[in-house]
């Protein structure tokens, strides 16, 4: 008798789970963004639940450094949440290949995104998309408006103007022209090479040609950014070789440096610290009137656990994430993390607004080393860090550096052989 | 004839240490060595024999990094042997001087850095040496030597030596304490007998004390060797996993970490990482064997 009751109860729950869409369904989100917990709880989730009665959402983040490991073990054990926040490129691709992420290619809402936006969460041939793009970060330069006004400097558009401005700041001597160090290495590659580079290799055109093997890292458009970086060394602060990333942030926010090669993720942090007005300018082009290209790097997406019990509710949520409404909530709560949907979003933060406005003027691309090319050994991304540092310090010539990178890439990447 | 009793208490007393040591040291060690014989092909783990080691030593991409890390490791060790241990011995000799005042204070002060976390030491020294906020440029300026200052941690040619000296600063207390203990255990009578024979002051140190503390110096050398070839924390805390600038501070520990756990876009490769760990184990094993069989057995010991 007792057993019967249990089996009845089990059957009952199974029925509820499968049939009753009207009953409350709870979706759990896995994420590494524990900084955003209050944002999700106070703004995003209530907005969604108000529109979709019957679906409850729980945001359960883990620590960023542990996220990949925790997520993998949860997925293997079958205890992972219904929705999974996706890291860009290979980390998520591995999850898709292992059958943990569902293909979302058929979802109508995916049409709200450009190909560049989707590229971070697609299979190499682009046939399957497995995460909805959430946000990207844009590279450029943040500058101290007060310092520029004081020295009578105009915002530079071309490379010649850029270096003329730096010369003027250096001559005056009251500000360090540019706040960047080479100690932590990644800034040189991320805020240096991949910031100014797209103007040389023409954004997506060059990046895709490199992946296809039609261009080489020794081609002039890939070498030239290193030659430009080599000129940066003279404008960085004293002892920049040992200057760390937080050092650079502090130098700029304390008003000691005039220009900061940036990623837009700095905006909210800087807003809280500076007592001067900040502005931003795009990576300078070589000649006035050239098409400009910006690195609009895809950083966060969200996908569906292939084994979720509530695929319909999960898809409803993902479609909502792809909507302009989500984009406006997310983009305004986290200035500097820009929504990726093609519909423009009205941002309130002036600096974020200025930066996101570049999307209308320039062509977007992502960091050249992130897709496919950093899959082997030697790792192209890590090598690019070292090469960018060496270029700034002047320890090797741009041609030597490019040759080394090309040799490294060709050693394992067939299209480049 | 009485049957010899089985002495259970030996097994019982040994058991906790043996079990714990096996679980946390011996088993992981052999499992790591086993892991280095496998590789991952198409999501499957397959046995590949010594192929990982062949890649490590045969493929220029890997071997270059390996030899660079090993060379850096030897330099790191050399600095410790040439700077840390002589200074440690000298400090111990001074501390054991009977007429030195505040000996206990100095002893504690010199030993305290040893108990600090690597992260604190790495971070504190990074700040001290920082060209922007650090006190080192200011202090050099105060004595008119500003021109000598360089961003040491950011220069390929100085970074490793700087880090080795930071490590020396941190750990000089250990040889000091061990030698200090050895010096205190030398009986007064021996020294007095020497005095009667006319051996005093410095020559008493060189002719009587030093030969008597030689076994301790041997132990310190081998501890330094093992410690240095396992080093990782300080470099990681100060320079990150890429051990910059341009891998000039890359030692076997950071190389292994980067390979095993991956870094940034580089996905972790536990099998190659284990191969590097295996090579580290072999190097340390050879070093310890050379010491045990080549040096320690020939060392003269004096019965006190």
Mean pLDDT by 10 residues, chain B (304 residues): 80 93 93 92 84 92 94 96 95 88 91 92 92 90 88 92 96 94 90 89 88 90 94 91 89 93 79 94 94 83 69
User: Is B129:B153 a contact under the CB 8 Å cutoff?
Assistant: yes
What number of other Cβ atoms are within 10 A of residue A255's Cβ?
Answer: 14
Tokens 């060496």, residue?
A: A390
Provide the residue count of chain B.
Answer: 304
Q: Are A145 and A265 in the same domain?
A: yes
- What number is the average pLDDT over the span A296-302? 91
Tokens 């320079």, residue?
A: B239
Comparing CA positions, the residue from B179, B167, B275 lying closest to residue B228 is B167
Tell me if chain B has a CB within 8 Å of the CB of A370: yes
Q: Would the pTM of this model clear 0.80, i.e. be above it?
A: yes
Q: Which two tokens stand for residue B118?
A: 């690597």
Tell me if chain B has a CB within 8 Å of the CB of A39: no
Please give the DSSP secondary-structure letter assigned to residue A158.
B
Q: Where does B51-298 sit in CATH, by number?
A: 1.10.3720.10
Q: Are A391 and A263 in the same domain?
A: yes
User: Is A352:A278 a contact under the CB 8 Å cutoff?
Assistant: no
Most A CBs within 10 A among B126, B245, B254, B269, hence the mutation to make, goes to B245
- Residue B123: closest CA among chain A residues belongs to which residue? A244
Span A151-172, pLDDT tens digits: 999 999 999 999 999 999 999 9
Query: How far out from the chain centre does Cα B293 lie?
Result: 21
d(CA B9, CA B24) in angstroms, rounded, equals: 24
- Domain with residue A345: its CATH number is 3.40.190.10
Strand pairing class (B266-267; B262-263) = antiparallel
Residue A10 has pLDDT above 70, yes or no: no
- Is B154 within 8 Å of A239 when comparing Cβ atoms? yes
- Is A411 within 8 Å of B61 when comparing Cβ atoms? yes
Q: Are A120 and A142 in the same domain?
A: no
Q: List, as own/partner pairs, every contact residues A87-91 make where C-beta atoms lie below 8 angstroms and the sequence separation is at least 24, other chains included.
A: A87/A32, A87/A300, A88/A120, A88/A121, A88/A297, A88/A298, A88/A299, A88/A300, A88/A301, A88/A370, A89/A120, A89/A370, A89/A371, A89/B265, A90/A374, A90/A375, A90/B265, A90/B267, A91/B267
Residue A20 has pLDDT above 70, yes or no: no
Q: Are A284 and A218 in the same domain?
A: yes
Q: Which of residues 221-240 of B touch A (CB under 8 A)?
A: 239-240
Residues spanned by the domain of A153: 138-296+367-416
A2 lies in some domain: no
Q: Are A243 and A391 in the same domain?
A: yes
CA dihedral A355, A358, A359, A360 (to 10 degrees): 130
Q: Which residues of B touch A247 (CB under 8 A)?
A: 130, 132-133
Q: Are A281 and A160 in the same domain?
A: yes
Helices (H), A56-197: 67-77, 90-97, 115-118, 145-151, 159-172, 186-187, 194-196
Span B69-100, pLDDT tens digits: 999 999 999 999 999 999 999 999 999 888 88
- Residue A90: closest CA among chain B residues belongs to which residue? B265
- Residue B43: closest CA among chain A residues belongs to which residue? A98
Q: Are A285 and A385 in the same domain?
A: yes
A283 lies in some domain: yes
In this prediction, residue B303 carries a pLDDT of: 67
Q: Are A114 and A149 in the same domain?
A: no
Tell me if chain B has a CB within 8 Å of the CB of A13: no
Q: Are A278 and A312 in the same domain?
A: no
A9 lies in some domain: no
- Is B242 within 8 Å of A385 when comparing Cβ atoms? yes
Phi, psi of A123 (to 5 degrees): -70, 165
Strand pairing class (A257-263; A176-178) = parallel
- Is B266 within 8 Å of A251 when comparing Cβ atoms? no
Q: Are A202 and A265 in the same domain?
A: yes
- Give me the number of domains chain A comprises: 2
- Is A241 within 8 Å of B246 when comparing Cβ atoms? no
More confident residue, A22 or A242: A242
Cβ burial of B169 (10 Å; 0-12, 13-18, 19+) is: middle
Q: Are A177 and A254 in the same domain?
A: yes
């Amino acid at each position: 008798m007792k057993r019967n009751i249990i089996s009845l109860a089990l059957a009952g729950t199974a029925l509820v789970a499968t049939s009753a869409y009207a009953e409350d369904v709870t979706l759990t989100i896995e994420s590494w963004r524990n900084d955003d917990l209050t944002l999700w709880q106070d703004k995003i989730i209530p907005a969604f639940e108000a529109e979709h009665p019957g679906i409850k959402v729980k945001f359960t983040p883990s620590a960023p450094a542990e996220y990949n490991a925790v997520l993998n073990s949860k997925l293997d054990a079958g205890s992972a949440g219904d929705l999974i926040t996706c890291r860009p490129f290979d980390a998520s691709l591995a999850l898709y290949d292992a059958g943990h992420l569902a293909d979302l290619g058929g979802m109508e809402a995916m049409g709200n995104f450009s190909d560049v936006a989707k590229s971070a969460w697609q299979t190499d041939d682009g046939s399957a998309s497995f995460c909805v793009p959430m946000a990207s970060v844009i590279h450029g330069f943040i500058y101290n408006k007060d310092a520029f006004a004081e020295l009578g400097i105009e915002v530079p558009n071309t490379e010649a103007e850029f270096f003329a401005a730096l010369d003027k700041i250096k001559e005056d001597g009251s500000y360090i022209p540019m706040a960047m160090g080479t100690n932590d290495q990644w800034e040189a590659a991320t805020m240096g090479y991949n910031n100014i580079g797209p103007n040389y290799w023409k954004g997506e055109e060059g990046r895709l040609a490199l992946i296809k093997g039609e261009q080489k890292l020794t081609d002039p458009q890939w070498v030239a950014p290193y030659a430009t970086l080599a000129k940066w060394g003279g404008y960085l602060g004293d002892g920049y070789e040992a200057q760390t990333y937080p050092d650079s942030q502090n130098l700029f926010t304390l008003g000691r440096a005039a220009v900061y090669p940036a990623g837009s993720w700095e905006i909210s942090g800087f807003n809280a610290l500076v007592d001067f007005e900040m502005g931003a300018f795009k990576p300078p082009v070589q000649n006035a009137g050239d098409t400009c290209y910006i690195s609009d790097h895809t950083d966060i997406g969200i996908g569906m656990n292939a084994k979720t019990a509530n695929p319909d509710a999960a898809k409803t949520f993902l479609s909502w994430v792809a909507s302009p409404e989500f984009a406006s909530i997310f983009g305004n709560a986290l200035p500097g993390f820009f929504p990726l949907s093609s519909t423009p979003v009205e941002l309130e933060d002036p600096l974020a607004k200025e930066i996101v406005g570049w999307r209308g003027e320039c062509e977007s691309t992502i960091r050249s080393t992130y897709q496919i090319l950093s899959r082997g050994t030697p790792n192209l991304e890590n090598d690019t860090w070292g090469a960018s540092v060496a270029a700034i310090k002047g320890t090797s010539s741009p041609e030597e550096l490019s040759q080394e990178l090309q040799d490294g890439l060709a050693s394992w990447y067939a299209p480049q052989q | 004839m009485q049957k010899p009793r089985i002495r259970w208490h030996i097994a019982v007393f040994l058991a906790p240490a043996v079990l714990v040591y096996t679980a946390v040291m011996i088993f992981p060690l052999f499992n790591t060595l086993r892991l280095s014989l496998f590789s991952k092909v198409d999501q499957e783990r397959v046995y590949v024999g010594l192929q990982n080691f062949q890649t490590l030593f045969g493929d220029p991409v890997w071997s270059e990094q390996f030899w660079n890390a090993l060379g850096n490791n030897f330099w790191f060790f050399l600095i410790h042997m040439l700077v840390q241990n002589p200074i440690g011995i000298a400090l111990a000799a001074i501390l054991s001087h009977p007429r030195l005042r505040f000996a206990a204070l100095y002893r504690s002060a010199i030993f305290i850095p040893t108990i600090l976390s690597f992260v604190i030491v790495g971070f504190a020294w990074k700040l001290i040496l920082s060209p922007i906020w650090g006190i080192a440029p200011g202090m050099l300026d105060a004595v008119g030597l500003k021109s000598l200052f360089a961003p040491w941690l950011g220069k390929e040619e100085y970074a490793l030596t700087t880090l080795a000296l930071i490590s020396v600063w941190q750990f000089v207390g250990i040889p000091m304490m061990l030698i200090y203990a050895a010096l205190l255990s030398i009986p007064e009578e021996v020294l007095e007998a020497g005095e009667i024979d006319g051996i005093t002051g410095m020559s008493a140190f060189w002719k009587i004390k030093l030969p008597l503390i030689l076994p301790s110096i041997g132990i310190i050398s081998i501890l330094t060797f093992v410690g240095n070839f396992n080093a990782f924390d300080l470099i990681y805390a100060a320079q990150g996993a890429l051990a910059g600038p341009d891998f000039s501070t890359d030692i076997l520990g950071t190389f292994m970490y980067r390979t095993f756990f991956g870094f940034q876009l580089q996905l972790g490769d536990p099998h190659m990482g284990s191969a590097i760990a295996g090579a580290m184990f072999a190097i340390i094993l050879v070093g310890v064997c050379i010491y045990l069989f080549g040096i320690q057995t020939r060392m003269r010991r004096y019965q006190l």
